[in-house]
Amino acid sequence: VTIEAQNSTDNKPTQFVLQALSPGNESLGQWEGITPESCSSVDSAILNSTQNAANWTSPGTNVSSVQIR
Q: What is the pLDDT of residues 16-46, one digit of tens each?
A: 888 888 888 888 888 888 888 888 888 888 8
Taking a C-beta distance cutoff of 8 angstroms, is the pair 45, 31 a contact?
Answer: yes
Is 18 inside a domain boundary?
Answer: yes
Domain region containing 31 = 13-50
Is 1 inside a domain boundary?
Answer: no
Q: What is the C-alpha to C-alpha distance for residues 69 and 49, in angstroms, rounded to an integer?
A: 17
Task: Give how many domains the chain has, as a whole number.
Answer: 1
- pLDDT (tens digit per residue) in 10-23: 666 688 888 888 88
pTM, full prediction: 0.69
Maximum Cα–Cα distance for the chain, whole Å? 43
- Asked whether the CA dihedral 9, 37, 69, 63 is positive or negative, the reply is positive
Is 66 inside a domain boundary?
Answer: no
Please report which confidence band the pLDDT of residue 8 belongs to, taking 50, 70 and 90 as the band edges.
Answer: low
